[in-house]
Structure 1
Amino acid sequence: MAADLHAPAQQSHPLDIDTLIVGGGQAGLATSYFLSRAGVEHQVLERRATLGGAWQDRWDAFVLNTPNFTLDLPGMPYPGPDPEAFMARDDAVDYFRDYARRIDAPVRTGTDVTRISTSDGGFSVETTDGTWRSRNVVLATGAYQIPKIPPFAAGLPRSVLQLHTHEYRNPEQLPDGAVLIVGTGQSGGQIAEDLHAVGRQVHLAVSTCPEAPRRYRGQDVMYWVLLAGIHGPEYGVNALRVGQLPSPAARFACNPLLSGTDGGHDVHLRALGRQGIRLHGHLEAADDGELTFTDDLPERLATVEAGFGQRMGRALDAYIAAAGIDAPEPRPAPADDWLPAPEPARLNLAAENITSVLWATGYQLDLSFVDIPVLDAWSYPRHVRGVTEQPGLYVVGLPWLTGHYSSIVGGVGVDAEYVAECVAGR
C-alpha cells in the first residue's frame, strides 16, 4: 500500500521529484489518480497524521450534506447499496482512506509544507520532513485552514467557554447551561438541531446563508447542482460558473443551509424557532457579559428564505429546461410569516445562563506558505482553470475554482483531470 498513514522520518537532504501535490484530501487524491494514469512521477504531502482530509475535523454526529451518489471520485464511483443515503463522518473518513489505497496514491502523512518558492526553473518546497525540489506543484489544500472568529470574541467573560465548530465535538464538551451559536450556515444549523435534541437551550445568531430544499424537482438538490454546474455550459447555462459570480468575495459565500442527518432534510430557521430555539439578529458586538445583536431578524429570515430562488433555483430551472429534462415542476414553499416574540437587542449572558458560545463562522483561506506572488487580496491564487500565473504551479479543490462544483466530492475530478493534463503536457 503506497498510502503511508504514519509520519515519515526527517530527511536531511533535498528530494527531487517531478510533481508535488500539497494536500491529501479529495482534491489531492483525485489529482494523484489522473497523474498516475498519465505516468507522471509525483508525491502527495499531507500535513495530518492520517488520511481523511478535513472530514476528520468535524464533530462526532456530523453527517455529510451531500448524498452518497455524489461521492463519485475519479476511478471509484460510489459502490454501495444506498446512493440516496448520507454518510456519517467516520464512514466518510474511511471511504477516502480506502480510495487512496485503491488508486495506490503515493502519500506521505505528517508532512506539513512550510514554504514554497521558485528555484532553478522549478520549485523548492520546504516541509517539516525536509526540503523537496520539483518541476511542478499542485496546491490541493482546500479552504479550511484558519477558523474565523470575530475580534470582539476577546470581550466575552473568561467564564464562558468559546469553541469554533472546528474544535466542537459533542454536547458533553460544554458546561451545563444555555448555548449561543453564532452563524446559520450548515454547521450552525445542524449543531443547533443536535443540541436542541438533547435538551439544551439554544440561542442562534442568524446570518444570511440561504435555506434550500433538500429535494427539488424530483431529485436531491445536489443532483441538479452537480449536473447544472458541470454540464450547464453545454446548454448555454453558466450561472454556476465562477465567471458569473457578482464579485471575487462571493467565492467564499456560505453553502445552502441543508442537513444530511436522519436521511437528509431541509433546515428552516422559523421551524427551529417554533421548537424553542431562540433566534437573534447578527451578533455585532460583545462587551464583557453584554452582547449586541442587530434588530433586523424579520428581514434576515426573509433574505434567507428568498436566497435559493433568486440564484441557484433559477440556474437549476434554466438547466433543466435547456437540457430538455422531464422533471416535475418546482413546488413553491408554503407561505410562512411566523416570527418569534421580539428579543432585546442587548443580551446579558449571565441573565440568560449562557455558558458556551460556538462560533459557526467559517474559515479563512491560508496559502501564506506560497512565497510566490500569485495570490490575490483574498489569498486566493490567480489562475485560469487551475493554472496559475507561475509556470508549473497549479491549484485544485478550492471553492468556485471554476464552478460551484469545484470543492464538492462529485465535482472535484473535473478540475483535477484538466490540471493533471496540463502537468503531463509540460
Structure 2
Amino acid sequence: METEPLGDGPSGNPLDINTVVVGGGQAGLAASYFLSRAGVGHVIFDKRAALGGAWQDRWDAFVLNTPNLALNMPGLPYSGTEPDAFMARDDVVDYFREYARRIDAPVRTGTDVTRVSASDGSFNVETSDGTWRARNVVLATGGFQMPKIPPVASDLPRDIVQLHTDQYRNPAQLPGGAVLVVGTGQSGVQIAEELLAAGRQVHLAVSTCPEAPRRYRGRDTLYWVLQTGLHGPEYGVNALRVQQLPSPAARFGCNPLLSGSDGGHDIRLRELGRSGMRLHGRLEAADDGELVFTDDLADRLATVESGFSQRMQRALDAYIAAAGIDAPPAEVRATDDWLPEEPARLDLASENISSVLWATGYRLDLNFVDLPVLDQWSYPRHERGVTEHPGLFVVGLPWLTGHYSALIGGVGVDAEYVAACVAGR
C-alpha cells in the first residue's frame, strides 16, 4: 500500500532498514512480494506520484501486447474470463495498484532516489525525502527510463513538432499535416496505425524489428515465448536465455512486431504500405529541410520478415517438440514482394510533414548508483540479478536472465531468486 512520508529517525539520524527497493513498477512489486514472504523488512521508493509504473506514460489508446493469460504477477495469476484478450492502459495501471494493495507493498510514492553509495558495509540511499541507511538495495527501475532521441533531431527545422513516443498521447496532440514516425518497434508501428486510421498521412522510417504472427501453432505467440523462456531449460531448450544472445548489446534488441489493439493482430509493414503508409529506409540525416533516408528498404523489409523464422520460431518449435506438446503445424506465410517506390530524399515542406514522432526506444539511466557496477551500456554487471557489489541487486531489466525478465508474466522468476539472496544475507 502507498504510505505517508516518514521523518528521519531519532535525533535526525538516517532511517535504518534492511532493504530498499528502487522502483514501484512490476519488478519492484514482485520483489516486495517475495521479500515480505521471506520476512525481510523493506521499503519501496517510487518517484511517480501514483503507482502504475511506466504504463502510465503510454498513449491513450494503448493496450498490452501480451494477452491477459500472461498477467501472472507472483501470488495473483490471471483468473478472468478473457485470457486471450488484451488489457487497456488504464486497466493495466489499475491492475498494478490493486496488486500493491493486495500484497500490502510498503511503497512511498513521490520519492525520487538521487544517489546510492556504499557506507561501512551497507548503503546510503539519498532521496528527495531524506537519507536512508540500508543493508541491501534492489534496483527495480525497469527498462523504460530515459527516452532515446538520435542526434539528427537537432538538424530538423524549428517549426517541426517533435515528440518521443513517451510524450505522445493521441492524434489530436499533433498539428495538422503529415507525420513522420521514426522507428518500427512495437510502439512505433502501433502509433503509426492509429495515425493512419485517424486520416493522417504517415511516413514510416523502417528499422529491423522482426515481424511475427500474432498466433502461432494454435496459441498466442507470446504464450509460447513465455513458456519456452520459463520452461525450455527443463527440456534442454535454452535459446531464450541470456547466455544465448550474440552480444551484450542484444539485450536491447527489438521485441517482435505484434499488436494487442482491435483484439490483437499481426503487424505487416508491406500491408501498411499498401494501405497508404509511406515506407522509407532508416532516417540518416536532415539537410536544409530535406530528410535523407538509407536506400535499402528492400533489404530492411527482408530482414524484418525473416527475423522470426531465423531465431524465435526455431526456439518455439524446439520447445514444443521437446515438451511433447500436441500443437498444430505452423502456417506457411505466403511470399510478399511488394515494394514501394520512395526517393531517398524527402522535402519536408512539399510533403507537408509538420511533426516527427521518435519511436526510437529508451536507454537505461542508473547514474544515481554511485558504485562501479555498470557496464558501457549502463547495465549492471551481475549474475542472476546479484551484482558485483555485495548487497546490491537488480530485477526487471530486459534480458536479465532471459527473454521473460522484463515481462509481467516472467519478472517474478528473477524476483524470487533475488529475494532469496537478500534474505540469505
Instruction: Name the counterpart of 1:198.
Output: 198
> CA offsets, 1:328-375, max 9 Å, x none?
1111111111111x1111111001000000000000111111000111
> Is 2:351 the partner of 1:348?
no
Question: How many angstroms does 1:287 deviate by?
Answer: 2.1
Partner of 2:360: 361
User: Could you report, residue by residue, the CA deviation over 1:206-252 in whole angstroms, capped at 9, with x for unpaired residues?
Assistant: 00000011000000001110110011111111100000000000000
Partner amino acid, structure 2, of 1:252 = F
Matches of residues 57-68 of structure 1 in structure 2 within 5 Å? 57-68=57-68
Deviation at 1:289, TM superposition (A): 1.1
Q: Displacement, 1:306?
A: 0.2
Distance 2:182 2:301 in 1: 15
- In structure 2, the partner of 1:371 is 370
Q: Hey, what does 2:27 align to over in structure 1?
A: 27
Per-residue deviation, 1:285: 0.6
Which residue does 2:423 correspond to in 1? 424
1:10/1:128 contact within 8 Å kept: no
Q: Assess if the C-alpha contact under 8 Å between 1:26 and 1:53 holds in 2.
A: yes
Whichever residue aligns with residue 391 of structure 1, its letter is: P
For residues 362 and 138 of structure 1, the distance between their equivalents in structure 2, rounded to whole angstroms, comes to 24
Counterpart of 1:70 in structure 2 is: 70
Match of 2:236 in 1: 236
Alignment match, 1:390: 389
* Alpha-carbon distance between aligned partners in 2 of 1:91 and 1:233, rounded to the nearest angstrom: 33
Matched, 1:264 2:260: no
Deviations 1:40-78 (A, max 9, x none): 100011011100000001000101000001010000011
Identity in percent:
77
Measure the CA separation in 1 of the matches of 2:282 and 2:363. 19
> Take 1:216 and 1:58, find their aligned partners in 2: how far apart are those partners?
27
**TM-score, structure 2 normalization:** 0.98
Which residue of structure 1 aligns with residue 178 of structure 2? 178
| Native 8 Å contact 1:13 1:130 kept in 2 | no
SS in 2 for 1:311: helix
How far apart, CA to CA, are the structure 1 residues paired with 2:212 and 2:53? 26
Q: Distance in 1 between matches of 2:289 and 2:113?
A: 40
Return the offset for 1:3.
2.2
Offset from partner CA, 1:88-146 (integer Å, 9 cap, x none): 00000000000000000000001111110100101001110110100000000001111
Match of 1:323 in 2: 323
**What CA distance in whole angstroms lies between the structure 1 residues aligned with 2:6 and 2:36?**
25
Give how far 1:185 is off. Answer: 0.5
Equivalent-residue separation in structure 1 for 2:189 and 2:84 (angstroms): 21
1:152 counterpart SS class: helix
Total equivalences in the alignment: 422
Residue matched to 1:212: 212
Equivalent in the alignment of 2:15: 15
Aligned-partner residue type, residue 399 of structure 2: W
1:112-123 alignment to 2 at 5 Å? 112-123=112-123
Paired with 2:206 and 2:388, the residues of 1 have a C-alpha distance of: 39
What 5-or-longer segments of structure 1 have no aligned partner? none
Provide the C-alpha distance between the structure 2 equivalents of 1:422 and 1:10, rounded to a whole number of angstroms.
Answer: 29
Q: Distance in 1 between matches of 2:190 and 2:13?
A: 47
How far did residue 288 of structure 1 move? 3.4
- Offset of 1:10 from its aligned partner? 6.6
Q: Do the aligned partners of residues 17 and 10 (structure 1) sit closer, same or farther apart at CA in structure 2, a change above 3 Å counting?
A: closer
**1:81 CA displacement:** 1.6
Once the two structures are superposed, the pairs formed by residues 31-46 of structure 1 within 5 Å of their partners are: 31-46=31-46
Aligned CA RMSD, in angstroms, stands at 1.0
Following superposition, the deviation at residue 13 of structure 1 comes to 4.2
2:293 is aligned to 293
Contact persistence 1:26–1:412 (CA under 8 A): yes
Q: Give 1:17-166 correspondences, 5 Å limit.
A: 17-166=17-166
2:281 and 2:222 map into 1 onto residues whose CA distance is: 29
For residues 111 and 301 of structure 1, what CA distance do their matches in structure 2 show?
A: 44
Give a deviation string over 1:299-325, Cα, whole Å, max 9, x none: 110100000000111000011111111
Alignment-derived partner of residue 187 in structure 2: 187
Q: Partner of 1:335: helix, strand, or coil?
A: coil
- Give 3-state SS (helix, strand or coil) of 2:72's partner: coil
Q: CA deviation at 1:80?
A: 1.8
Counterpart position of 1:402: 401
State the distance in 1 between where 2:45 and 2:129 align: 10
Asked if 2 retains the 8 angstrom alpha-carbon contact of 1:229 and 1:405, the reply is: yes
Matching residue's letter, 2:386? V
Say if 2:396 is the partner of 1:381: no
- Out of 78-87 and 40-49, give the one that drifted further: 78-87
Q: Aligned to 2:195, what secondary structure does the other structure show?
A: helix
Query: Shift of residue 401 of structure 1?
Result: 0.2
Counterpart Cα distance in 1 of 2:277 and 2:6: 50
